[in-house]
Structure 1
Amino acid sequence: MDANAYRLGATYQLNDRTGLCFGYTYDETGQDDDHFSARVPDNDRHLFGLGLAQSLGYGLSLEAAYMYVRAVDRDYRGVRPYTGGDLNGSTALAGDYSMDAHLIGLELVKVF
């Protein structure tokens, strides 16, 4: 199954030492129903990101980021009856799957 990702980002320099970043991604799932797994319920996703970079001088900067991930709800029913063995793609996993996630990053960067 083919899948695409669409990304848009922007950086804004507030001043010589401070920069802001914004980003958005729409990520299509590459996992069709025949290979669906509840361990990694791969849904189409919207990702929203914010970032801040602050130069500390001497080649150092402090960077912080936040990302919110919102998956599109997935209604999976399966067409292959579960008869034991491999669950993936079977009716044993029938259900409604939804998720969201909050990701935070903080890093100290040194440029040589």
Structure 2
Amino acid sequence: MKGGGCKEEFEGWEKCVEDAEKAGDDVVERCYEATAALHRCMEAHAEYYQPILRAERAMAADLEAAKASEQATEASDAASSQQPAAPPQTEEEAAGEKQAAVPEKHDVAA
């Protein structure tokens, strides 16, 4: 990172991260501007930083796919939990259904 055109931005970001960690601050929140400046610089020098930018984009796509998969699973789980299961039948209910399914015999000889 220090060999490309974004050496100053990288060093500023690196210092911000170190300071935030020492202070126990949230690195993402505290170093938002330094991260954005570094990213803008990397985009401006994309020919040099292409491998890093490509890896960053792939990781973002993987995270997005995992999030979508998790949301689909949660939606499926929620839908299946909202459908009440049929209560178990008693032996009498099951026997009644069997009897109803068998047609009555009529005495045709009468």
Q: Please report the TM-score for the alignment, with normalisation by the length of structure 1.
A: 0.19
Please state which structure has a larger fraction of its residues in strand: 1
Q: Please report the TM-score for the alignment, with normalisation by the length of structure 2.
A: 0.19
Q: For CA contacts below 8 A with separation 6 or more, give which structure has more relative contact order.
A: 1
Please state which structure has a larger fraction of its residues in helix: 2
